[in-house]
Amino acid sequence: MKIITVHDVRKEYFDLNLDAYQLTFDDGLYSQFYYFQLFKDHPEKLTYFITTSFIKPGTLRPVFDGRYLPVIKSKKYMHRTFAENRFDHFMNVAELQEISRHKNVEIGAHSHFHDVILTRTHPHKRKPLSPWKRERTQVLKEISIAEFSIRSKLAFKGHEVYDGKLIPRSETAWEDFIKYDTELCLRWFEQNLNMQPRKYGFPFNEYSDKFILILKSFGFQQFFAARPKNKKEITGRTDIDSLLDT
């Protein structure tokens, strides 16, 4: 069965035959809670990959009553998150706890910080430079961005900006960041959901051998990404929006 990735939920998704797919949800967005009653009886397990630093304390908010929410694209809600320090577009703790109690739900990890870094890896294949990514990596006009991509801070060693200069991140600093992010993520799950996830959805669908090896040392057993590259340990999945174009 084909596995689908969902971010912010759109009205158009309910015109699809969703029962034909296994559904995974990334980032822990409020719309995923708002429309949960429309998903909860899905014939396959629903997997929610949660970015733990995005989920703040709060009380239960309204759920679907026939009205559809405006769609927030990932570039916009990530800018709200990192540039404006706003988190209302994500589920809060009470909402995540509510859906996690459902027998048809499995919770997975999607990192703690979901952060980015400058890297010279495949600059010709770089993703569009969203404003939030430029601000997050402190990209300055003096730096020739043509030489760089802005990619996952967990999957790539990369370069960081200090005093207007690019400094390569050391191998040790990279490893330490992966471990730090994962420790915080797992601690959050233990404190707020009293569980330890065994599934991991890679932020930005980006991964590396080092990243996977460290995650395995923390007990993760199954990994999800859009481009598995024939790696047996990676479960492939497809963005749901690709189904709307067919």
State the pLDDT at residue 166.
83
* Same-domain status, 7 and 64: yes
Task: Tell me how many domains the chain contains.
Answer: 2
Q: Which of 100, 133, 168 is the last residue of a domain?
A: 168
* Same-domain status, 77 and 174: yes
* Same-domain status, 162 and 93: no
* Same-domain status, 151 and 131: yes
* Same-domain status, 38 and 126: no
State the pLDDT at residue 121.
74
- Tell me the angle at which helices 93-100 and 171-193 cross, rounded to the nearest 10 degrees: 70
Helix (H, G, I), strand (E, B) or coil at 115: coil
State the pLDDT at residue 140.
54
* Same-domain status, 10 and 70: yes
Q: Which of 168, 184, 208 is the last residue of a domain?
A: 168
Q: Check residue 63 and report its DSSP letter.
A: -
* Same-domain status, 17 and 79: yes
Distance separating alpha carbons of residues 107 and 25, to the nearest angstrom: 10
Q: Which of 143, 168, 193 is the last residue of a domain?
A: 168
Q: Which domain holds residue 89?
A: 3-114+170-244
Q: Check residue 46 and report its DSSP letter.
A: E
State the pLDDT at residue 1.
85
State the pLDDT at residue 144.
58
* Same-domain status, 180 and 100: yes
* Same-domain status, 188 and 78: yes
Stretches in the chain below the pLDDT threshold 70: 122-129, 138-146, 246
Between strands 165-168 and 199-201, the pairing is unpaired
Beta bridge partners of 50: 109
Beta bridge partners of 49: 26, 108
* Same-domain status, 75 and 146: no
**Model pLDDT for residues 203-243, shown as the tens digit of each residue:** 999 999 999 999 999 999 999 999 887 788 899 999 999 99
pTM for the predicted model, two decimal places = 0.93
Question: What Rg do the C-alpha atoms of the chain give, in angstroms?
Answer: 18
* Same-domain status, 79 and 152: no
Task: Give CA 179 to chain center in angstroms.
Answer: 17
* Same-domain status, 202 and 223: yes
